[in-house]
Amino acid sequence: MKVLYLAAASASLGISPVVAATWKPDPDHTEVVIAWKHAGLSFQTAKFSLVDGALDFTNGDVGSARADFSVIVDSLDAGVAQFTSDLKSADFFDAEAYPAIRFLSTSVEQTGEMSVRATGDLTVKDVTGPVTFDITVHGLGAHPLGQFAARYSGDWLGMTATATISRSAFGIGTFVPIGSDEVSITINTEMRAGGFE
């Protein structure tokens, strides 16, 4: 079977096969971007820059993968100081009372040679609901920068995950429908096997 096409791809690139590992997000190369339609006129975005947690994944056994990640709400930046403050307030994410947004996977399935789908429980504030992320894997194995810096040694996993949710379903319905209820989520990350010291 095609297991992310990774065994063949790794061999062709001279990369050693990846074994069972716990993967941790690189804080310098991980972001969570949310986007929504504003007043029917434009699309706006905000970015969370701090993500904690881990992915347990064994190359060759996608179905047993398990993701448990938390996004730190106070790392949110909407690009405008006042709006950033508003989003962190009790009207929206309420960062003081609910400092993290958590995703815990319940199933992972392969959907293509370099793609998977992860379904799980998303908890925002005190509301938990189902969400499905479609994930594109960009690379798995040795980091191209490993030959230049020790920080990039070991095995790495790079991917983009996307999903769409209803924000009101997670207790953030302020100004709907002036600001669209539908919010897209894009996660870009590089993760290292074993994490960082």
Q: What pLDDT is attached to residue 59? A: 85
CATH topology of domain 6-193: Lipocalin (2.40.128)
Q: What span, in angstroms and rounded, lies between the C-alpha atoms of 97 and 45?
A: 23
Q: What pLDDT is attached to residue 90? A: 97
Give residues with Cβ within 8 angstroms of 146, minimum separation 6: 152, 153, 154
Q: What pLDDT is attached to residue 17? A: 58
Instruction: Write down the domain spans for the chain.
Output: 6-193
* DSSP E strand boundaries for 60-196: 66-72, 76-77, 100-112, 115-124, 127-142, 155-166, 182-193
Q: What pLDDT is attached to residue 20? A: 78
Q: What pLDDT is attached to residue 7? A: 44
Helix (H, G, I), strand (E, B) or coil at 171: coil
Q: What is the pTM of this model?
A: 0.90
* 147-171 confidence digits (pLDDT tens): 999 999 999 999 999 999 999 999 9
Q: What pLDDT is attached to residue 18? A: 57
Contact 195, 156 (CB under 8 A): no
Rg (CA), the chain: 18
pLDDT < 50 regions, the chain: 1-3, 5-16
Q: What pLDDT is attached to residue 196? A: 87
